[in-house]
Homo-oligomer: A and B are copies of this chain.
Amino acid sequence: MRHRAYSRAELARLVEPRSIAVVGASAREGAFGARVLENLAHYSGELYPVNDRYPRIGLLECYPSLKALPQRPDCVVIAVPREGVEPVIDEAAALGVGGAVVFSSGFGEVRAAEWHATQARIVRRARAAGLRMLGPNCMGFVNQSLRAGLTFIPEYARMPHRAGPVGIVSQSGALGYAVAQAAERGAGFSHFFSAGNSADVDVADLVSYLAEAPECRSIALVLEGIGNAQRLLDSGDRAWRAGKPVVVYKIATGEAGAAAARSHTGSIAGSQAANRALFERCGFVQVGELEALFETARFFARAGRPLGSGVAVVSGSGGAGVIAADMAERHGVPMPQPRAHTLEKLRGIVPEFGAARNPCDPTGQVLNNPESFKQCCTALLDDDQYGALVIPLGVALRGAGAERVVQIRELAAQYDKPICTVWISEWLQGPGSADYEDEPKATLFRSMDRCFAAIAAWQMRSRQVLAETRSRLSPPDALQRTHAILDAAGEALGERESKRILAAYGVPAIEERVSRNADEAVRAAREAGYPVVLKIDSAQILHKTEAGGVRLDLGNDAAVRRAFEEIVASARDYAPQAEIRGVLVQPMAARGVEAIVGARVDPQVGPIVVVGLGGVMVELLGDAVTALAPVSPSEAREMINRLRGRVLLEGFRGARPADLEAFALAVARISELIADGADRIAEIDVNPLVCRPDGVQALDALVVKQKD
């Protein structure tokens, strides 16, 4: 597995070719090979149609093969049927071509093993020759700075040429191109890539490329599968360091698979929680709807760093101003009132029947005195409380807007604070909208909700601390001891073995004594001190309470004797095949807040750790936070802070606060365990981990091994 994403230099001949050959070029209208030539009509480099059936196509000379070309092309577009792809790749590889785009479908995405093998062979040969391949089963790509559409989509040739700061990356060509069509209404992009089967170059590589491409200032990513999580992390890191925000819309968010998990952790931290954790670590901004993707990416392309946490609104419609305030509250964005000196300025501009406040309504007088609108904006932008300005645009009027656009352009040039215009009218491409779309310094939203969601994400993102350097928490022999326990344990681990693994990683757990009969149980109980807890000891019984295998708060010998017999009988009843090794005796733990800490190896994302509070908080309400493992103690602390139920830990209703540092340390240690042991451990459940003012203690634990 390749964990490093390709750099811009590695992809330059594919994405920024100085010469392109189109194999399968065609003169037949509508054919892929004809459409590609059309989409390259404005391409400034050398263009070579290749097809032995034509001497020329249009004004271009046509060549019978790649070998016959007057020069070695940087990139080859392969517009031939599936069966013809492999020989072309071979020929290109032999010639030293730098990149290939393969449209044809029917390779890795179909059932037939034969074509999987062909795809694998093609990739191997291409890589050996340093040939980077996009596809197969893709729609190709567009590089606006070269005016090059290496794609068969029929619309690109007729699309208005408009470069913009957003690079679009998608596995699905149709979804990605649907986003790129924003250019048709006036909002340009820098690149559009469809990765298709991602046999060689995948979305992580394309994000990595865009991180270095100067025309691109932010990245809009439509993601279906994760592919290789390490490579995505690498690309996220490159984009972060390059200061290029990545906005991701993840499709395929179904959780049907989560139900199959064996432990609690699986059900409370499903694949979407794992994905979110990955995106957070990547530094990606996640949006929940496709229509938010491009707008949000455009906003981030321009937003810079927040210079104030508040947002000011200037609106000629009272209603639109109210909606802005509603959405600010919904997304937790502050809309403070202006400072005294700002207020004074506004009062000098806004008439009495207007609103000299935030939201500011300069009223219809702006029709008579257009400067007053700009003066209100200036007064608010000068106020250091405000980091952004939102301007709702109401009813679309023919002939209106042009003057306002100029004012907004002037404001945007003058201030380093983002300006957002919000198009309210259902006349979606009404008069003036194209001017706002085309404005490079302000962002046009078509939804107040999405505008404030983007602002909230921007404020959060700037507050986010980059993943810190983690130092090891556990002793050097911890993994070695874990392996020994796993080796001895057979298929599944009981509570005792699970706790021994926790102990190896320094997670405190309650002590226990093993008893094989009632007499031993009574002896153990006296040693532990009453009251005690009895639990069944069997590696095959994962859910002890369900099996009737737990008795709490036993106060004397008789109760222990009775409980021993009942537990064993219940467990035999529940799981007749289970090997029952005896009954564990533990002292009854002191009260505290019950937390749950889990970890598992997600098949796509890798090792993750999840933390929640016990009982209703996590079971009924799903109040849990997931992160990629390992996390440092301070990252674990941050996870705990994000729990809605955290006040329970902080001393709810007069209780003493729990030891949050000890809690965070235990979470970090468990995350280190799953990260270390990911190849052998599938899931870990510590439930409950009791959090008290004087520390934490695991009362029960379950480690599930990976299936071989």
Binding site for B on A (CB under 8 A): 105-106, 110, 153-155, 158, 170-172, 174-175, 177-182, 184-185, 187, 222, 224, 251-255, 288-291, 294, 316-320, 322-323, 325-326, 329-330, 353, 394-398, 424-430, 446-449, 616-617, 620-621, 623, 644-645, 647-648, 652
Asked whether, in the complex, the Cβ of B424 is within 8 Å of the Cβ of A178, the reply is yes
| C-alpha spacing A320/B652, complex, angstroms | 46
| C-alpha spacing A174/B175, complex, angstroms | 34
Task: Write out the residue numbers on chain B whose beta carbons fall within 8 Å of the beta carbon of A291.
Answer: 426, 446-447
How close is A276's CB to chain B, nearest CB, in angstroms? 14
Asked whether, in the complex, the Cβ of A180 is within 8 Å of the Cβ of B251, the reply is no
User: Which single member of B398, B448, B645 contacts A620 (CB below 8 Å)?
Assistant: B645
| C-alpha spacing A175/B319, complex, angstroms | 7
Q: Considering only CB atoms, which chain B residue lies closest to A367 in the complex?
A: B30
Asked whether, in the complex, the Cβ of A181 is within 8 Å of the Cβ of B425, the reply is yes
| C-alpha spacing A648/B158, complex, angstroms | 61
Specify the main secondary structure of chain A where it touches its partner: loop
Asked whether, in the complex, the Cβ of B326 is within 8 Å of the Cβ of A426, the reply is no
Task: Write out the residue numbers on chain B whose beta carbons fall within 8 Å of the beta carbon of A319.
Answer: 170-172, 174-175, 222, 224, 251
- Are A426 and B178 also in contact (CB < 8 A) when A289-B447, A317-B172, A397-B154 are? yes
How close is A257's CB to chain B, nearest CB, in angstroms? 12
Q: How many copies does the complex hold?
A: 2
User: Which single member of B105, B289, B290, B648 contacts A353 (CB below 8 Å)?
Assistant: B105
| C-alpha spacing A620/B329, complex, angstroms | 18
How close is A330's CB to chain B, nearest CB, in angstroms? 8
User: Which single member of B158, B175, B426, B616 contacts A424 (CB below 8 Å)?
Assistant: B175
- Are A184 and B396 also in contact (CB < 8 A) when A425-B178, A428-B429 are? yes
| C-alpha spacing A106/B429, complex, angstroms | 34
Task: Write out the residue numbers on chain B whose beta carbons fall within 8 Å of the beta carbon of A253.
Answer: 326, 329-330
Asked whether, in the complex, the Cβ of B289 is within 8 Å of the Cβ of A449, the reply is yes
| C-alpha spacing A607/B494, complex, angstroms | 56
Asked whether, in the complex, the Cβ of B175 is within 8 Å of the Cβ of A254, the reply is no
| C-alpha spacing A524/B175, complex, angstroms | 75
Given A153-B395, A172-B317, A290-B448, output 11 extra A-B contacts at Cβ < 8 Å.
Answer: A170-B319, A175-B394, A178-B396, A179-B426, A181-B426, A184-B426, A252-B325, A291-B447, A616-B645, A616-B652, A620-B648
| C-alpha spacing A446/B178, complex, angstroms | 12
| C-alpha spacing A94/B448, complex, angstroms | 47
Asked whether, in the complex, the Cβ of A290 is within 8 Å of the Cβ of B429, the reply is no
Task: Write out the residue numbers on chain B whose beta carbons fall within 8 Å of the beta carbon of A290.
Answer: 323, 424, 447-448
| C-alpha spacing A252/B319, complex, angstroms | 9
